A and B are shown apart, each in its own frame.
Chain A
């Protein structure tokens, strides 16, 4: 079992719709959860982080965490073509060591 699992996609969403990206993790002791966006040929950039169960909103992005189910998700509202990228879920297992999932490739269709 991989430590952090994501559906590799591709996930195709029409412009203006909600894109839903999911991630599960195996270590119950994980403390912090991050979503990174990576454009093709570029390095990852942080979108959001979440520590507590529930939802955290930042503009068009909402991160959701359910520690009991070991599940974290990212919702992107009003999806734009510029949101087309690979989204990486990362989980912190102490001392800021990040374990990344394989990423979900998202395509927003105009």
Chain B
């Protein structure tokens, strides 16, 4: 079974530029998550989708971050404009459903460096 796919794996941009990340979850997984992991910290949930609807985006900085999950499969996360403090690894995860106990499987992540 293929895992969660993410691209690109690495991205370096200058502040105020825009960037987009892509995620393809495990086939059949209805729930998709985007996390931000700053060096030395645990992952922080940015947004959770159930199929193509948003379940939780309470920690998404909506003035600069946006995410979509068209057709309930792939998802993109965009940052515009980027700030220095956005330097982090962006992890995508998916689970079979959003119910408690369903394991979240993480992709390899995209390491973003903002100069």
Contacts and interface: CB of A to CB of B under 8 A. Distances in A.
A46 interface: yes
Given A43-B109, A44-B106, A95 B44 contact: no
A45 B108 CA distance: 11
Q: Report the contact-size class of chain B (Cβ under 8 Å from the partner).
A: 20 to 34
Contact of A96 (B104, B106, B109): B104
B100 A96 contact: yes
Contact of B48 (A4, A44, A90, A97): A97
B36 to A, nearest CB: 11
A99 to B, nearest CB: 8
Contact of B103 (A4, A46, A51, A101): A46
Interface string B15-55: 00000000000000001000000001111110010000001
Given A31-B100, A95-B98, A43 B42 contact: no
A98 B104 contact: yes
Contacts of A94: 100
A92 B103 CA distance: 11
Nearest to B89: A43
A43 B94 CA distance: 13
A43 B107 contact: yes
Contact of B31 (A96, A99, A101, A103): A96
A29 to B, nearest CB: 12
A88 B41 CA distance: 9
Interface in A51-100: 51, 88, 90, 92, 94-100
12 contacts: A4-B42, A31-B100, A43-B91, A51-B100, A88-B42, A95-B48, A96-B95, A96-B100, A98-B45, A98-B104, A100-B43, A102-B41
| Pairs of residues from A and B, 7 with the lowest C-beta to C-beta distance, nearest first | A100-B42, A43-B106, A96-B98, A32-B100, A100-B43, A102-B42, A102-B41
Given A8-B40, A96-B31, 19 more contacts: A32-B100, A43-B91, A43-B106, A43-B107, A44-B106, A45-B106, A46-B104, A51-B100, A92-B100, A96-B48, A96-B100, A96-B102, A97-B55, A97-B56, A98-B45, A99-B45, A100-B43, A102-B41, A102-B42
